[in-house]
Structure 1
Amino acid sequence: MTSLDGFSKVQLEDGVLRVTIATAENGTSLDGEGLVQGARALEAVGDRIGSVLLVGEGPNFCAGGNVRAFASAPVRSECVAEVAGVFHDFVRALDAVTVPVIAGVHGWAAGAGMSLVCLTDVAIGGPGTKLRPAYPSIGYTPDGGMSWTLPRIVGDARAREILITDTVLSGDEAVRLGILSRLVGDDVVQDEALRLARTLAAGPTSSYSGIKTLVRDSRSRTLAEQLDAEAESIAAAADSPVGREGVDAFIEKRRADFASVK
C-alpha cells in the first residue's frame, strides 16, 4: 500500500483509498492531519478509487476529539470551532463519495469516532468494539453529523436516548441497532474491512453509485417519486458497460469482470 504524494495518512492501493482518522498519539483521538489529507485525497483521486476504508491506528478506531487540547486552548470556543470545521470538511467530502465507504472499527469508537461509523456504508466491528456518543460527558453537543445520521439509523426516540444518556453500546448491540454491520474476531477487524474494501473496489462501481444515490435521495421523496427514480436508474444501468457485462456474464454462466469495463 503506497502513500499518495505529500499524504502520509492516506494510501491508495487496489482501488482502495485508506484514510487513517486516528493514531496512537494523543490517545487515538481524532487526527486533524488525517482528516485534512483525507478530504483533499477524496477530491483529488475521483474516479481512481473503487472504495474508501476508514481505519484507526492504535488500540482504538477513534476515541473522539483531543479533550486535552480543548482544555489547554486560550479560547476554547475558537479551538473547538476550528476542529469541527476541519472535521466537517472531511464529513462533507465523505458524504459526497459515490463509492462504498467501509470502516474497520476496533476498540472504542467514541464521539467523533462514532460519528464517522454512522456515516459509513459498511462498518465491521468485533466482540470488543464499543461505541459511545461521549459528548454529554464533557458537556458538549454532537458534531460530525451524529445528530443527523443516528436518528436515521435507529429512529428519533432511540437516538435521543443514546445521545442524552451517553449510552455505551457493545458490538452486539450496535449490530442489532444497525450502526455496525457485523462482527468478526477482534484480531481480524481491520483485515476483514480491508478485504471487503478490495472486493467492492473491484465490483460494479456504477451500480454502487446508483444504489447510494437512490438511498440518499429517498430521504426527500414520496414512494411514487422513488419508483420513478428507480425505473430511470435501472434502465440506465441496463445499457451501461457494467450492466451489459453483468447480464452477459450471467447468461454465459461466467464470473462478471467488472474491472474490465470501468
Structure 2
Amino acid sequence: MESRNRADLARALYAALAAGDREQLDALLHPEFTGRTAEGMPFGIGGDHDSPTAMRRNGWGRIARHFEARAEPEQFLDLADGRLLVTGRYRGHGRQGGAALDAAFAHLIAIDQGRIKSLEQFTDTARWHDAAGRLRTVLLDFEGGVATLRLNRPDKGNAIDTGMAADLAEAATQIAERSDVRAVLIAGNGPNFTVGGDLSLFAGTAREQLPSRLRRMIDSYHLAIERLTSIDAPVVAAVRGGAGGGGLGLLCAADIVVAADDARFALGYSALGLTADGGNTWFLPRMVGMRRAQELFLLNRRLTAQEALDFGLVSRLAPSDAVEDEAAALAAKLAAGPTRAFGAVRRMLRQSFETGLSDQLDAERESIVTASATDDAQEGIHAFIAKRRPRFRDE
C-alpha cells in the first residue's frame, strides 16, 4: 500500500474516533486487530486489548467515558518494518474537572490488506493524570448505568488516608449528581478490599497534629458514606482479602455484599486504643445484633468469611476469583430495576429502626402511592400482565 494511502487510512481512524462512528471503526479495523494503550494511563486504561471489541470497550471507550479529548495527528512516517509512525497531540479535558489535556503521542500502526491490524500507543501519561481530575487513589467508571468505585492503593492494602478519604467523598458526590447511575459497585484493587485506616499516617503524625488530621480525614470519609446511603441507586460491594476498621463502613453502606470465601473481617480499634468511625457503631448493631457488635468492638474478634455470613455482615460468598464477576452481575441486574422505587425502599429500611409501626405504615402508604404514579410502575404492572420482562427507565 502506498504511503499516502496508509496515512489516509490512519486519518480515517482518527476521524472515526473523534466522531464516535462505530460503523466506520468496524470497517477500518482488521478482525484480528490488537491494541496497546500506554501503561500508567489513569482509570485502568493502559494495557493490551486483544480484539477490536476489547479496544473499543476498554481502551477508546474508557477514554471517552473519562475524557472529552481527541487525537490530532501531525506527522506520518513510514518505518522500515512496514509500520506507520504517527505523532501528534491529544487535546481536550477530563470529565472530572482536571487540567486541560495537552499530551504528545506516538502511535505505531500496522496495516494488513487495507485494514488496521494493530495500534500501539505511547503518550505522556502524567498529562493524562493531570487532566483526569482530583481522583488519585480511587478509580471511578460509569458504564451501562453502573458506577464502579474501586479503591486503588493496592500496595498499601487500600488503606484509607487523607487523600483517599477526600477522593471517596468526591467520587460519591459525582455518583450522587448523575441521574444515569442506577447501581453502584464498590471493590478494591489488589488482594484486599481495604485494611481500614492507614496506620503509617497515624504513626507518622505528631501527637499534637493527629486529632486535627483525623478530623479532616473522617469528615471526608463520612461524607462519602452519607452520599452512598442517600442515593436511590442500590450499592453492591465485592470483598476480597481483608476488610477492616473504618473500611467496613463501605460494605455496611452497601445493600448487597459478595465476599470471597477466604475473606477476613475485623474492626481493630481496641488494639489501637481508638474508638470507631465509618458509621460502624450505627450499622453493626442493626446488622449483626447488639451482643455480637459488642463482641466485635470490645474483644476485637476477627471473622472468617463464613462467620461474617452467619453474622449477617455479608450477603453471600463466592470463590475469590469469581467475587467481582458475581458482584458485577448483581449490579447490572439492579441497574435494570426501578431505581426510584429502590431508593424509597432503601430509605424506609434504614429509618425503620427509629420509627414506630404506625409511622412506618404511614411512610409505606405515601411511598407506594408516590411510586404508583411513575412510568416505572406503569411499565412493571403492564409487563407483569403481559408476562414479559419489564424495561424500567425512570431516573
Matched residues in 2 for 1:16 and 1:32: separation?
26
| CA contact 2:192–2:242 (8 Å) conserved in 1 | yes
Give the aligned residue type for 2:187: V
Within the alignment, does 1:51 sit opposite 2:179 as a pair?
Answer: no
**Higher normalized contact order (CA 8 Å, seq sep 6+, divided by chain length):** 1
Which of 346, 359, 369 aligns to 1:235? It is 369
Aligned to 2:231: 97
Alpha-carbon contact 2:249-2:280 (below 8 Å) kept: yes
Deviations 1:195-234 (A, max 9, x none): 2112211211112012112112223221122112212222
Change (3 A) 1:82 1:43: closer
Specify whether residues 32 and 193 from structure 1 end up closer, same or farther in structure 2 by C-alpha distance, changes over 3 A only.
farther
- Is residue 106–residue 189 contact of structure 1 (8 Å, CA) maintained in 2? yes
Q: Given the superposition, is the C-alpha separation of residues 35 and 16 from structure 1 closer, same or farther in structure 2, using an over 3 Å criterion?
A: farther
Structure 1 length-normalised TM: 0.93
* Cα contact 1:100–1:121 (8 A) shared by 2: yes
2:159 is equivalent to residue 25 of structure 1:
no
Q: Is the 8 A contact 2:261 2:318 kept in 1?
A: yes
Aligned residue pairs, count: 261
Please identify, of 106-115 and 74-83, the stretch whose mean Cα deviation from structure 2 is larger: 74-83
- Asked if the contact 1:19–1:34 (Cα under 8 Å) also holds between the matched residues in 2, the reply is no
CA contact (8 A) 2:196 2:246 kept: yes
Q: Does 1:254 align with 2:388?
A: yes
Alignment CA distance shift 1:172-1:99 (3 Å): same
Do the aligned partners of residues 73 and 32 (structure 1) sit closer, same or farther apart at CA in structure 2, a change above 3 Å counting? closer
Between structures 1 and 2, the one with greater helix share: 1
Amino acid in structure 2 at the alignment position of 1:197: A
**One-letter code of the match for 1:120?**
A
Mapped contact 1:39–1:94 kept (Cα < 8 A)? no
Q: Given residue 71 of structure 1, which amino acid in structure 2 is its aligned partner? A: A
Offset at 1:68?
0.9
Amino acid at match of 1:212: R
Per-residue deviation at 1:31?
Answer: 5.4
Cα distance between partner residues in 2 of 1:203 and 1:194:
14
- Structure-2 change in CA distance of 1:121 and 1:48 (3 Å): same
CA RMSD in angstroms, aligned pairs only: 1.8
Between the aligned partners of 2:146 and 2:162, the Cα distance in structure 1 is 21
Which of 195, 198, 211 in structure 2 is aligned with 1:63?
195
Deviation at 1:76, TM superposition (A): 2.4
Whole-angstrom distance in 2 between the partners of 1:257 and 1:33: 40
Q: Percent identity?
A: 34
**Deviation (angstroms), 1:57:** 0.7
How much does 1:134 deviate? 1.2
Q: Equivalent residue for 1:132?
A: 266
2:166 to 36, 44, 51: 36
Compare the two structures and name the one with the higher strand fraction: 2
Give the structure with higher Rg (CA).
2
Letter of the aligned partner of 1:16 in structure 2? V
What one-letter code is carried by the residue in structure 2 that aligns with 1:54?
I
More moved, 16-25 vs 144-153: 16-25
What secondary structure, in the 3-state scheme, does the structure 2 residue paired with 1:236 have? helix
CA contact (8 A) 1:28 1:59 kept: no
In the alignment, structure 1 segments of 5+ residues that lack a partner are none
